[in-house]
Amino acid sequence: MSCAALGIEKVLFALAGSVVLGASALAALASPWWLLLAAFVGVNQWLYVLVGNCPASLVLRRLPCLSEPREARP
């Protein structure tokens, strides 16, 4: 799958899910303080929903293949 086939929402969703899974595993194996990372991801997701931007979306929009918003398919 090429980068152009992915929209920014899919990339953000995959990134957030990966970080939450990693933080959950680290919380189970190392320290419960890693759950703060999962909470940080949740706050950033709500920030994206309410404002339309989050730190990760601002970084990802600088990628050439994700810079243009994709049109919705019918």
Q: How does DSSP classify residue 62?
A: T
Q: Where are the domains of the chain?
A: 7-60
CB 7 within 8 A of CB 70: yes
Task: Report pLDDT for 4.
Answer: 63
Look at residues 22, 63, 19 and name the one whose alpha carbon lies nearest to residue 41: 19
Locate tokens 């293949």: which residue?
65
First to last CA, the chain: 21
CB 55 within 8 A of CB 6: no
Instruction: Divide the 74 residues of the chain into consecutive groups of 10 and give the mean pLDDT of each group.
Output: 76 94 97 96 92 88 73 55
